[in-house]
């Protein structure tokens, strides 16, 4: 019986990582509804005497205090995007070599790996486990951000961080920045029967789209990794009535930029491309350099024995980077299946991610 009801069964950390992933997924935790899964994780960690557990909202920080020379953060978010209804992607189900269901990829498989690592009483490094809410929605709800703002001492002493977002169990270094801008065209309203009395702002948007079509994104080498930039229209809005020439049109543009650029650099690229138009930067989150030259990162990569590629999206490694903590992405699940109706994770990736992480901590 699935545990996505009001009173989920206790989490059994001694269960295999696949069973534990299914149990976590079957506790529904769509963003802003993470209390039950946070309660379950807290109850599972409480008996572990080598951990000190602190709760911040519906996020948890669990720390070892063993006096090791190095401290590492293992972090993962506990919320998911909404469930689908037809077909339903909960409760989880096992089909052949895959575990199907909401959260199996993004990212309760990674959270299950964290919990298995939390059982290691004498790790080679001091560990800080972060299980946080609100990653899948607006930044103001992000539990990692809340911890940084309210209890920074719980994480700021780390030398290195691993974010267990899905990477198909390979190491992805850093992440790209993401900028969202509104490009506005302005016209003059008029009756659509006499358009010569006005000026059509929607027609002017053709020039904005033409510049986007002609734009050649860069591939940038940063710390030995290639980041592919991208600039795309992701929305367009204009018009007030079926018989009115529109006096305003807004094209929303998303720019994904390499981590060698600052926020100001990225804004300058967008403003230059759309010079002559009114451009408003609505959101701009910087990327994170890989930091692979640092000793902690080198040790992680060498212990896992896996290739390293660039992280093409934006993840919360950027939040660690802002705290001068080098961070990489490493977790089970194909990121191309995140948020899909047919979200599923190969059992082999759950097992291999757990084995790799435990090998590193041995």
260 is catalytic: no
- Asked whether 286 and 263 are in contact (CB, 8 A), the reply is yes
Packed helices 108-117 and 347-361: angle between N→C axes, nearest 10 degrees: 30
The number of helices, as runs of H, and strands, as runs of E, in the chain is: 9, 19
Q: State the CB neighbour count (10 A cutoff) for residue 352.
A: 17
Q: State the CB neighbour count (10 A cutoff) for residue 228.
A: 13
Peptide bond into 91 cis (omega under 30): yes
Q: At a CB cut-off of 8 Å and minimum separation 6, what does 297 contact?
A: 160, 290, 291, 326, 328
Active-site pick, 79, 172, 247, 343: 79
| Alpha-carbon separation of residue 201 from 17, 184, 246, 273 (angstroms) | 56, 9, 6, 19
- Asked whether 143 and 31 are in contact (CB, 8 A), the reply is no
283 is catalytic: no
Q: State the CB neighbour count (10 A cutoff) for residue 192.
A: 14
* Element holding 183 (H helix, E strand): strand 177-186
Residues in the chain: 362
Helices (H), the chain: 17-25, 35-45, 108-117, 143-150, 201-214, 263-273, 295-304, 317-322, 347-361
Active-site pick, 135, 247, 334, 343: 135
- Asked whether 325 and 158 are in contact (CB, 8 A), the reply is yes
Tracing tokens 């809410």 back to the chain, one arrives at 133
Backbone torsions φ then ψ of 258, nearest 5 degrees: -65, 155
Active site residues: 79, 135
């Amino acid at each position: 019986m699935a545990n996505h009801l009001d009173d989920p069964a206790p989490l059994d950390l001694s269960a295999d990582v696949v069973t534990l992933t299914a149990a976590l997924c079957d506790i529904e935790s769509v963003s802003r509804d993470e209390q039950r899964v946070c309660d379950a994780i807290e109850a599972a960690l409480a008996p572990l005497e080598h951990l000190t557990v602190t709760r911040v909202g519906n996020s948890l920080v669990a720390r070892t205090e063993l006096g090791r020379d190095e401290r590492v953060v293992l972090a993962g978010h506990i919320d998911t995007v909404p469930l689908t209804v037809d077909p339903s992607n909960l409760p989880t189900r096992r089909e052949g070599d895959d575990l199907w269901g909401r959260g199996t990829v993004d990212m309760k498989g990674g959270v299950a790996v964290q919990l298995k690592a939390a059982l290691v009483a004498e790790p080679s490094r001091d560990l800080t486990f972060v299980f946080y809410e609100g990653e899948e929605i607006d930044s103001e709800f992000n539990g990692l951000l809340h911890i940084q703002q309210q209890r920074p001492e719980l994480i700021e002493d780390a030398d290195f961080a691993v974010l267990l977002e899905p990477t198909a169990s390979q190491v992805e270094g850093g992440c790209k920045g993401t900028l969202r801008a509104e490009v506005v065209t302005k016209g003059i309203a008029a009756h659509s029967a006499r358009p010569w009395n006005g000026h059509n702002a929607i027609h002017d948007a053709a020039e904005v789209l033409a510049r986007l079509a002609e734009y050649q994104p860069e591939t940038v080498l940063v710390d030995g990794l290639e980041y592919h930039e991208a600039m795309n229209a992701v929305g367009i809005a204009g018009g007030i009535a079926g018989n009115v020439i529109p006096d305003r049109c807004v094209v929303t543009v998303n720019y994904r930029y390499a981590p060698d650029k600052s926020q100001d650099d990225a804004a300058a690229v967008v403003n230059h491309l759309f010079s002559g138009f009114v451009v408003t930067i609505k959101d701009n989150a910087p990327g994170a350099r890989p930091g692979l030259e640092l000793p902690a990162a080198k040790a992680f990569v060498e212990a896992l024995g896996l290739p390293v590629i660039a992280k093409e999206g934006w993840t919360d490694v950027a939040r660690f980077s802002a705290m001068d903590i080098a961070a990489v992405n490493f977790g089970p699940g194909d990121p191309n299946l995140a948020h899909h109706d047919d979200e599923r994770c190969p059992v082999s990736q759950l097992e291999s991610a757990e084995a790799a992480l435990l090998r590193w901590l041995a």
